[in-house]
Amino acid sequence: MILFDSLLIMLAIVGPTILATLGFAWWFRASNPRAQRLPDWAYSGRIELVTWAIPLLTITLLGGVAWIGSHQLDPARPLASKTPALEVQVVSLDWKWLFIYPEQRVASVNQLVIPAGQPVHFSLTSASVMNSFFVPQLGSMIYTMNGMAADLNLQADEPGTLWGLSTHYSGDGFSDMHFEVRALDAAGFAGWVAATRQGGPVLDSARYVELAKQSIKDLPSTFREAETGLFQKIVSQELAPGPGPQDSHGGQSGQSAQGRATTGAQTAALDAVICITGER
């Protein structure tokens, strides 16, 4: 929408300019005796006012559209709804996704279940290297970093099955680091929570340490109960970060999770510069 609005504003200037160029070329053609050429003319305040006012007005309008639109699309901006948002805590692991539902006291791995028509507030972090959370059909990709928590607000308008994935390379299991998103109606979501509470292990600190170990192609699974405050322990690094990708000899890369997160952030910033400038 921001791009379309910007395009319309620019076309309002570019269109008349193109027409004026064609009009000038036609009027001042060699075969038109009525066209007057004034070689001694040097300055016109009215023309200067118009030629400077139009670009300034264009820049003002484009800046306003970009400012307002970017704030409206802020991932941390709560969605307008009469229904309170569902809280979901997301942790990117090597190489799987952990979803904790603090209000329902359950958790799942590589499976995100949400109620359709209700906003969902995600709190996201990484238990290892920098990663990114993305559900293309819902929008708003956002990075996860160790020792930090990010906010994201999304909503599935209708029931259905969606596709979520990681979009930031994070090692050997990156290509299989995806998950299913099931948007259910209110009754279906309540039923899923009730069924999850009936079976499965308890996700406490000790089991989380085991879960955080590197693995690839983990099947979706659930936990009937999640320890209160587990997400905060991960963010505050009370629970030690994962080792991250290892080198070809099976050893650690020698860089801390915090250092890897910083390097990942620098890489992301460099990628953004490359996208803008087209140069490395």
Angle at 61 between CA 58 and CA 62, to 5 degrees: 85
* Strands 178-184 and 111-115, bridge-based pairing: parallel
Secondary structure (3-state) at 126: strand
Given a cut of 70, the residues of the chain with pLDDT beneath it are 1, 74, 246-280
In CATH terms, the fold of domain 86-243+255-275 is Immunoglobulin-like (2.60.40)
**pLDDT tens digits, one per residue of 181-193:** 999 999 999 999 9
What is the model's pLDDT at position 246? 65
Partnered with residue 126 across adjacent β-strands are 92
Side chain identity, residue 227: E
Residue 229 falls in which region: left (phi positive, over 0), alpha (psi -120 to 50) or beta: left
Secondary structure (3-state) at 214: coil
C-alpha–C-alpha distance, residues 234 and 135, integer Å: 23
What is the model's pLDDT at position 276? 44
C-alpha–C-alpha distance, residues 134 and 114, integer Å: 15
What is the model's pLDDT at position 240? 83
What is the model's pLDDT at position 260? 47
* Strands 86-93 and 120-126, bridge-based pairing: parallel
DSSP labels, 137-206: TT---EEE-TT--EEEEE--SS-EEEEEEE-S--STTGGG-EEEEEEE-HHHHHHHHHHHTTSS-EE-HH
Kindly report the backbone phi and psi dihedral angles of residue 62, in degrees, each rounded to the nearest multiple of 5, phi listed first. -65, -40
Quote the mean pLDDT of the chain. Answer: 82
Report whether 124 contacts 149 (CB < 8 A).
yes
What is the model's pLDDT at position 4? 80
DSSP H or E segment with residue 271: helix 257-277
What is the model's pLDDT at position 266? 47
What is the model's pLDDT at position 63? 85
Boundaries of every domain in the chain: 1-11+46-64, 86-243+255-275
The token pair that represents 15 in the structure block: 């269109």
**pLDDT tens digits, one per residue of 133-149:** 999 888 778 899 988 99
